[in-house]
Chains A and B, each alone.
Chain A
Amino acid sequence: DVKVTQSSRYLVKRTGEKVFLECVQDMDHENMFWYRQDPGLGLRLIYFSYDVKMKEKGDIPEGYSVSREKKERFSLILESASTNQTSMYLCASSIPGGSGNTIYFGEGSWLTVV
């Protein structure tokens, strides 16, 4: 069965802290994604990666960075957390090859910045 695992489900962090959200997939997928989900705004793409050490900005990359040192692991980094980054973060993965490939999501990480 396909598995995208987000190790931290619920986090509370202070403003200004550096935050790491970790994601691991066991499907040998090349593509990995980080989305942010907010009520009324849907899913917005933060960053994606189509290969190890490769990254591309999505629609809302400001305030975030990512790291992909291994194929199965994709990390989202908030260098200095702010309250407007309180949200649910979703990691996802897929195989390459154009449209029509299913994107598989993890169960989400709820981040509260106080």
Chain B
Amino acid sequence: QQQVKQSPQSLIVQKGGISIINCAYENTAFDYFPWYQQFPGKGPALLIAIRPDVSEKKEGRFTISFNKSAKQFSLHIMDSQPGDSATYFCAANYGGSQGNLIFGKGTKLSVKP
């Protein structure tokens, strides 16, 4: 199955709280899982990424947790800030030299001050 299911569709978090976005996939051939962040009027930009041989990756306030057996991965934003308000897309690479990505449908995050 060439699908990545992302939830929730939208999320409202208070400043300083933890934002959690979840993704699930079916195809065990997926070998690379990036998260992209998109601000209004801009194109998506790579935020953080993980490979399935690692269970967690942290970069600053952003952490990816990866559960290979459950075929799930999630993005955690610690100490969420209003500047984190954006749309977040999870994605998975389905191989090939082109590195094509399958994207989730996106989560619109609003962080309230």
List chain A positions with a Cβ less than 8 A from chain B: 4, 31, 33, 40-45, 48, 50, 56, 58, 90, 92, 94, 96-108
Contact = CB atoms under 8 A, between A and B. Distances in A.
B89 A43 contact: yes
Interface of B: 6, 9, 31-32, 34, 36, 41-46, 49, 51, 89, 93, 95-101, 103-106
Given A45-B100, A50-B98, A98-B96, 5 more contacts: A48-B100, A90-B44, A96-B98, A100-B49, A107-B41
Contacts of B9: 40
A109 to B, nearest CB: 10
B45 A42 contact: no
Given A43-B44, A100-B51, A105-B43, A31 B89 contact: no
B43 A90 contact: yes
Tell me if B's interface is mostly helix, strand, loop or mixed: loop
A42 B103 contact: yes
B45 A99 contact: no
A11 B44 CA distance: 20
A24 B106 CA distance: 26
B95 A98 contact: yes
B43 A107 contact: yes
Given A40-B9, A42-B104, A101 B99 contact: yes
B105 A42 contact: yes
B98 A43 contact: no
A31 B6 CA distance: 26
Nearest to A43: B103
A2 B97 CA distance: 21
A97 B105 CA distance: 26
A48 to B, nearest CB: 6
Contacts of B96: 98
B89 A94 contact: no
The 9 A-B pairs at the shortest CB distance, nearest first, are namely: A105-B43, A99-B32, A42-B105, A99-B93, A43-B103, A101-B99, A42-B103, A102-B46, A107-B43
A48 B96 CA distance: 13
B105 A41 contact: yes
A87 B49 CA distance: 27
